[in-house]
Amino acid sequence: MRENSRNNEEPIQRNTGDNRKFYIVLVCFFIASVFWLLIALSRNYSATISLPVTYSNFPSRKVIVNDLPDKVAVKINTSGFKIIALSLRKSEDVVNIDIAQGLSNSGSLSDALAIPTRYFLQDFARSLGVNIDVTGFAPDSIVFLFKDKVSKKVPVRLDLSFTLEKQFDTVGTPATIPDSILVSGPPSHISKIKEIVTEAIRLKKVNGTMIKPVKLILPSMITSSSEFVKLNLAVEEFTEGVLELPVRVLDVPSGFIIHTYPEKVKLRYQVPLSRYKEIDQQQFDVVAEASVLPSSAITVLPLRLALMPANARNFLLEPSEVEYILRKK
């Protein structure tokens, strides 16, 4: 029995030893690979990376009328580590090209100018970081086509549609602040601009005043004093008011007196809830015209409001006309 047990244990011990050797070999291979990779990445390599670019410091009296490249291919020589780091850059990391610096290097400003991209080396080096040699660019020159800049003031048109909650209404006309802006660009473009439109604003169930920034839609090659304006949409809750007002008759024929039936009428109106207490009878004047009497066959006189407050609206007279009796004095 003991001999059989020993015979069974020998294969198990042999398998355990083989597995241990395999793992040791695997670990050694992994460590060697890591060392090889670190040594390889520490060496310098040539590579080309594409960098997104923006432009700043345009000439104050000129406007660029051609499309500028939004990416520049940069040839570099640096370590493998740096190349991997650059390839993992976020797309939002852009190179800002200082046009004023390039113009100062070129020594002149004409309507058509090709500035070697190497003149902007400092801008690219600042973005790339240290220990990176820049060896070339594509394109090797950036072409700028300039025109004299002109300016004029134009109105802003609000592209707005909205719905309101029940019992709410606008107070005044929706507007932008400011209501006009200064636009600049080539003369041929500026002459065609009559207004600048805002981006579309679509609102639902508005129940209060809204003041919010709104982006302007600027045509190509046009700049403005501001890219945004403020939407001013004044909205308040409204309530109904009711007053009983006397009827005043105008232009009563000489030698006659007139009586209307009824002598007072009911006026319904709507007013912002915040201003309800400001409304009183003294702010209204209900009149009827009697100038056509007594020769006219008219049996009733239509009514109208000759005086009303500016902060109320949607007026309704009940009744809208009155009967009358005309008598000689």
| Model pLDDT, residue 109 | 62
Biggest CA–CA distance in the chain, Å, is 151
Token pair, residue 307, equals 């005086």
Q: Half-sphere exposure of 323 toward its Cβ, with a 13 Å CA cutoff?
A: 3
Query: What is the chain's pLDDT, residue by residue, as a tens digit (329 residues)?
Result: 445 545 555 555 555 656 677 677 677 767 766 666 666 556 776 778 888 888 888 887 888 888 888 888 888 777 666 767 766 665 556 788 888 777 776 656 667 778 888 887 777 777 776 667 778 888 888 888 888 888 999 999 999 999 999 999 999 899 999 999 999 988 888 999 999 999 999 999 999 999 999 999 999 888 898 899 999 999 999 999 999 999 999 988 888 888 889 999 999 999 999 999 999 999 999 999 887 776 666 788 899 999 999 989 999 999 999 998 888 87
The C-alpha atoms of residue 273 and residue 259 are separated, in whole angstroms, by: 36
**Where are the alpha helices (H) located in 159-317, listed in sequence order?**
187-190
| Model pLDDT, residue 143 | 86
| Model pLDDT, residue 8 | 52
237 contacts 196 by C-beta, under 8 angstroms: no
The C-alpha atoms of residue 208 and residue 214 are separated, in whole angstroms, by: 18
| Model pLDDT, residue 90 | 58
CB proximity list for 149: less than 8 A, separation 6 or greater: 60, 61, 62, 63, 184, 185, 186
Other beta carbons less than 10 A from residue 247's beta carbon: 20
| Model pLDDT, residue 177 | 95
